[in-house]
Structure 1
Amino acid sequence: MSGTALPYEFPIDVAQDDIDFMGHVNNASYLKWVQEAVIAHWQALAPVEAVAEHLWVALKHEITYRKPAFLEDDVVATVLLEKVQGARAFYETVIRRGGEVLAEVKSSWCCLDAETLRPARLARDVIDRFFVKSDD
């Protein structure tokens, strides 16, 4: 695969139950948002048949918190698929409020066959939908 990842913008609705005892978004909500954003990215760019035939489970999240988020904030997650190796996909998600980075997340996911729930490799043409081809 040669090309640049297509960024996917996922708007986040900060809900009252995201707010912790200190008045800002609880760290656990960021992980919920990343999961929602990555799945939405998959559903938006993959072919309908591939979406129906595959599920995703998170294997690892590495999150760096930069600034707190609050209830009325306008928050967006930008999702990039960095690479796919076998049944694993590696994502970068940046959560922002306007121009401010609130959190950066590196995550790895396992693609599963929806019927057998066993790891499954994606076809090259499916993976290619997540990248803009470069001219090299």
Structure 2
Amino acid sequence: MALPPSTGCVAASICSCLRSPPCGGLLRNRGTDMEQDTGHYVEYPHPIRAGPGAIDNLAHVNNAIYLMWMQEAIGALWRKTAPLGQVKALTWVAHRHDVVYNRPAVLHDLLIAVVRVTGYQSCCAQLETRFERHGKCVAMIKSTMICVDRASGQLKCIRPDLARHFRLFKDEAVATAGATS
């Protein structure tokens, strides 16, 4: 659940989003502004070509590469949607990932990393990054990312005015499809 606008972010040592829920699962989007405005949020596609440096000794994309690509895709979404001042002032740091590998990707495969923000609470955002090849899911990563102020190193509370930058209209998402990494 998102904090109400009048509530401040708690200190890093007791930040509610950094404590694992009793069930051990990821946080869920319940009652946030994003949930109330889901019609305006779409998935952000970020194309990636598997090059020689991504391949391991089994001739597949190495598992660690998916995490690197996920961070790249989330960063691309942030740079696309947030004002330059916030892009320079804030960064996103990984707190937790849950990765599921469905099928191997190989050299020269064109994958689409599809990023979707699923919720936010306190200083954390929950995201899903799905790696697709020809419309089939190769791998899926559910992540909790922490918003950090670059200058102070302090956690930054994600309020609706900050979360709205993840809003991406369908025509903007389509315009990004030409990007490669």
TM-score computed with the length of structure 1 as normaliser: 0.91
2:81/2:168 contact within 8 Å kept: no
1:94/1:104 contact within 8 Å kept: yes
Q: Counterpart in 2 of 1:85?
A: 121
> Partners in 2 of 1:6 and 1:100 — Cα distance?
18
Structure with the bigger percentage of helix = 2
**What's the secondary structure of 2:65's corresponding residue?**
helix
> Partners in 2 of 1:54 and 1:123 — Cα distance?
13
* Letter aligned with residue 145 of structure 2: W
* Letter aligned with residue 83 of structure 1: G
Q: Counterpart in 1 of 2:55?
A: 19
> Partners in 1 of 2:91 and 2:165 — Cα distance?
17
TM-score computed with the length of structure 2 as normaliser: 0.69
Larger C-alpha radius of gyration, 1 or 2?
2
Q: Counterpart in 1 of 2:102?
A: 66
> Partners in 1 of 2:165 and 2:75 — Cα distance?
15
Matching of residue 57 in structure 1 with residue 93 in structure 2: yes
> Partners in 1 of 2:158 and 2:141 — Cα distance?
23
> Partners in 2 of 1:105 and 1:3 — Cα distance?
24
Q: Counterpart in 1 of 2:13?
A: none
**What's the secondary structure of 2:156's corresponding residue?**
coil
Aligned pair count reads 133
Which of 125, 133, 143 is the aligned partner of 1:107? 143
Task: Tell me how far 1:132 sits from its aligned partner.
Answer: 6.9
Structure 2 residues without counterparts, runs of 5 or longer? 1-32, 170-181
Structure with the bigger percentage of strand = 1
Give the share of equivalent positions with the same residue, in percent. Answer: 35
Q: Counterpart in 2 of 1:29?
A: 65
> Partners in 2 of 1:23 and 1:55 — Cα distance?
33
Q: Counterpart in 2 of 1:39?
A: 75
* Letter aligned with residue 62 of structure 1: D
> Partners in 1 of 2:54 and 2:104 — Cα distance?
12
